[in-house]
Every structure is written in C-alpha cells, then in structure tokens.
Amino acid sequence: MAFNSLQFILFLPVVFALYWYVFKKLPVQNWFLAVASVLFYACWDWRFAFLLVLTTLSSYAAGLALERVEKRKLRAWISAANIVANLLILGFFKYYNFFAESFADLLRLMGFLPDFATLNIVLPVGISFYTFQALSYSIDVYRRKLPATHRLDAFMAYVTFFPQLVAGPIERASNLLPQMLRQRSFDFERAADGCRQMLWGFVKKIVVADNCAVAVDMIWGNYTTMSGLQLLIGAVLFAIQIYADFSAYSDIAIGCARLFGIELQLNFKYPYFSRNVGEFWRRWHMSLMRWFKQYVYIPLGGNRRSLNRTLFNIMIVFLLSGLWHGANWTYVVWGAYHGLLMCIALLMGWNRHYTSVVAAQEWVVKPRELCNMALTFALVVLGWIFFRSNSMAEAEGYLSHMISHIGETTVTVGYRAMFYSALLLLVDWVCRRREHVLRLNFGGLFQYRWGRWVLYYGLVFLIIYELHQSQQSFIYFQF
C-alpha cells in the first residue's frame, strides 16, 4: 500500500479514528498499531508479512536472551546468531542472484564454464529498512546501551510501525521504542503540523518527482539518440527526482507518525545546498548514515586509529552503503565513488567543515560558498548517473555519449520537470532554516488564517492537477 494510492487515503483515517477513539489505552493501542502495520505491509504481498513477523520475533527473543545471560562469550554468540540469521534472510532475498551471477562471470574469465542456477526471487518491500531497525535493537541490548523490553506489544509496534516501515527513516530503538512503551495522548498542534508536512511530501512526490521520472525514463531509454546537453539535463533531473521522491516519503512518514503521537527522526536537511561532500552526507538519508556510523564505522575503529585505517573504515562504510541499496555493480561503484570523495575530503581537512546552515543569516550566498555548492552538486550528479543506470555498460555509455556530444544543445523533453525542479529548489532555499517547508513562520499573509488556507488549497489543487501524469512508485521501495 503506497502513500500515493487510494488505498492509503482510505486506510489512514480509519486507523487514526480507531487508534484514538477505540483502542485508546496501552497495550491494546500498540497491538492495534502492530496489526494495522502488518496489514499495511501485507497489501504488497501477504506472504512476506510472515517474514516481517519472523524478523520481529527473532530480535525480540534475542533481546530477552541477551538480558538474562551474563557470560560475555555466550552473549556474543547469541548476538552473532541473531545478526547472522537476519542478514542471511536479507542476503538470500536481495543478493543471491547477484553473487551467483558475479561468481559465474569470474569463473568464465578464468576459462571455466559454470552453470549456476538462479532463482526468480521477489524482493520483499522494505526488507533492508526493517532488518536494520530490528538489528539496531539487539545490538544495543548486547552492548548494554538499552534494556531489553519484555513487552511484545511495544516491540511489535516499534519494528512494524507502518509510516516508516518500508522506506524509513531507519529508527534506532533508543528513540522509537521508548515512545511505544508510554501512553500517548492526542496533540492537535502536533497533528496539524504533521498534516502540513505530509501535504508538502505529496507535492514533492506527485508534482516534482513523478514529472521528473517521466522525463528521466525517456532520456535514459533513448540516450544514444540524445544531445549532450539533453543527457546532462537528464542527469540533473534524476538528482532532483531521487531527492524529491525519497525526501517526500520521509516527510509523509514523519508527518503521519505525528498523527499518532510519535516523533521520527529527520532524514533530509536540504542536501543540495551542501558545500562539500562531507556536509552532503550529513544531510542526505541521515538515518542510514547514523546506522552505519554506530554499527559499522565506530566498531571498526572510526577515526581513533591510524590515518590509513580511518580511510579504510570510510571505504568499507560506503561500499556497504552502495551494496545496501541493491544487488548491482552500479550501486557498488556509486558507493566506492562517494567513499573516495570522502577520503579526499578527510585528507584535505574538509570533512568537518560547514556544520551550520548555508547563509544562515542572509538571503544571498557568498560567491565562494556558491562555487562550493555548485561543485558539490556536480560531483553528486555524476555519482547519480551510476546509481540510475541498470548496468555498468549503460552508465559508461551514458557518460561517454554525454561527453562526446556535449557540443550538441538540442533539448526536446523535460521542460515541465525542469520548471518544477527549479521551483522546488527555490522554495527549499527560502525555507532552508526550517525543519520542513510548511512549518510556517506565520509572517506576512500567513499570519492570517485565510492566507494559510489559500496556500494549502492551492497545493491540494496542484496535486490533483498533476495526478493525470503517470504515477510512479517510490524509488526506495526497491531497496
């Protein structure tokens, strides 16, 4: 059940009403939320709902066992068994064909003629997200950073919480689980703010991302016949598409959670205004990078050891990040590319620069910062070409054709997408100090209720107007 579907528009108010007016007390409220979330997930494929429940129950049991066992070695074995079991499930469904085919290709290069059987495996929606969320709990319990919960209702609601179940943000147990353990009360102001954030998320998805998707698909599908300028525009439009699409899902998830009295972590902070790659990764898919930092980078030694070891740790994190996104060498190359950029930033001493909002007290950015933003955006767009391509051959072909035909300036598609992309970036720039765009400061016309409602209705009509376009699923559903 996608957020941009009629099913969800009908599902949400029913669940909201039952949650607050029928199942008002814990633990019944948590059980209802868990059941509703599993039903939400089962709308894609009911068979994989059992996989979600299995992951949840195994991590819950692992937490109880880790709490009761005092011997360090046995606790390590329990934790390792739970991690391996969950990663094996993830690996089978997501990477079996990738590794089998890659190994077969390697053997062919060595002169052998292997005949590996590959399976037509359907990837369960959101498996990477809920697996990482469940693992964060058992790892924190093993480290004694979090007490094991004995309440299955709260734990089920924590792992399966439907707003962020299939595409994040990836919540750590220390943030979300305590909210499931305490009684929640309805807060009108919080719910209203959640509705505004959801509205802006729908604008980004339906108006911007879906229009960009139509142009990008057309350009990528016919790149050998396109001009160099058209291919450059296609790469930029994909950068806008993936940002508008993924941040839209995060906005809808965070806003929807507020309707249920739950606060989720911020996942995007206007990343395309970053002034170097280090700042970009502090603003892009923040929940995933926090996960890798806590459970991969720091355990590997972080930056506490030699410079070479730090560079190695960075590359491991970004290679795993690329592989996390999908079973394709294009994702691995994309991860390695960003890992290399981060290593260069570390060697040049740039990685910790720019921790505040760009031009925080000004409307116009300084020329040096503008150049840094443009360079960072160009580097990120280059990486997105590999991310978007279906194969390394396609990525190489797209890049080579774009460079060799850069003198050709014919543009035939993407005008509508370019207009909406420019408008999105302009609005983001004006609102870059806010947590989300529609968290209004109530100045000017917005100090009047009629001014705010004109804006809200205008955005709703814009969404309805653009619904005739080809509706696209959220990009990160495939991860």
The label of the residue with tokens 């206007």 reads: 270
pLDDT at 126: 85
What Å distances lie between residue 10 and 3, 6, 161, CA to CA? 11, 6, 18
CA angle 36, 37, 43 (to 5 degrees): 90
Question: Is cis: bond before 169, omega within 30 of 0?
Answer: yes
DSSP letters, 431-443, are TTTSSSTTS----
- At how many degrees (to 10) do helices 449-466 and 188-202 cross? 40
Active-site annotation holder among 325, 338, 405, 436: 325
Q: The pTM is what?
A: 0.92
pLDDT of the residue at 115: 61
How many Cα atoms occupy the beta-carbon half-sphere of 249 within 13 Å? 27
Structure tokens, 437:
């765009």
Sign (positive or negative) of CA dihedral 297, 298, 299, 305 = positive
Q: What is the DSSP code (8-state) at residue 95? A: H
Helices (H) then strands (E): counts for the chain: 18, 0
C-alpha distances in Å from residue 302, one per residue of 21, 228, 291, 299: 48, 41, 13, 7
Task: State residue 117's pLDDT score.
Answer: 60
Interatomic CA distance for residues 441 and 447, integer angstroms? 8
Cα-based distances in Å from 51 to 173, 263, 395:
20, 26, 34
User: For position 241, what pLDDT does the model report?
Assistant: 96
What is the distance between the alpha carbons of residues 41 and 181, in angstroms, rounded to a whole number?
A: 23
Instruction: Count other Cβ atoms within 10 Å, centred on residue 77.
Output: 12
Closest among 90, 166, 163, 101 to 324, alpha carbons compared: 90
Q: Give the residue from 91, 263, 292, 113 showing the smallest Cα distance to 174.
A: 263
Q: Is 285 a catalytic residue?
A: no
Residue burial 380-407, b: 16+ Cβ < 10 Å; e: rest: bbebbbbbbbeeeebbeebbebbeebee
Give residue 356's pLDDT.
84
Cα distances from 117 to residues 71, 100, 109, 156, 395, in angstroms, run 43, 8, 18, 37, 27
Distance (Å, rounded) from C-alpha 34 to C-alpha 85?
23
- pLDDT score, position 15: 95
Q: Are 146 and 19 in contact (CB under 8 A)?
A: no
Q: Which of 162, 183, 166 is nearest to 132 (CA)?
A: 166
The residues, ordered by sequence, that sit 6+ positions from 398 with a Cβ below 8 Å of its Cβ are 220, 223, 231, 235, 385, 389
Give the Cα separation of 163 and 322 in Å (integer): 24
Mean pLDDT by 10 residues, the chain (479 residues): 84 95 92 95 85 92 92 91 90 74 63 61 81 93 92 95 88 92 93 95 95 95 94 97 95 96 94 94 94 94 90 95 89 96 90 80 85 96 96 95 91 94 95 87 70 89 82 72
The answer to whether the peptide bond before residue 114 is cis (omega within 30 degrees of 0) is: no
Token couple for 72:
């360090």
Choose among 26, 337, 255, 295: nearest CA to 155: 26
- Would you tell me how many other CB atoms lie within 10 Å of the CB of residue 376? 22
Q: Would you state the pLDDT for residue 44?
A: 79
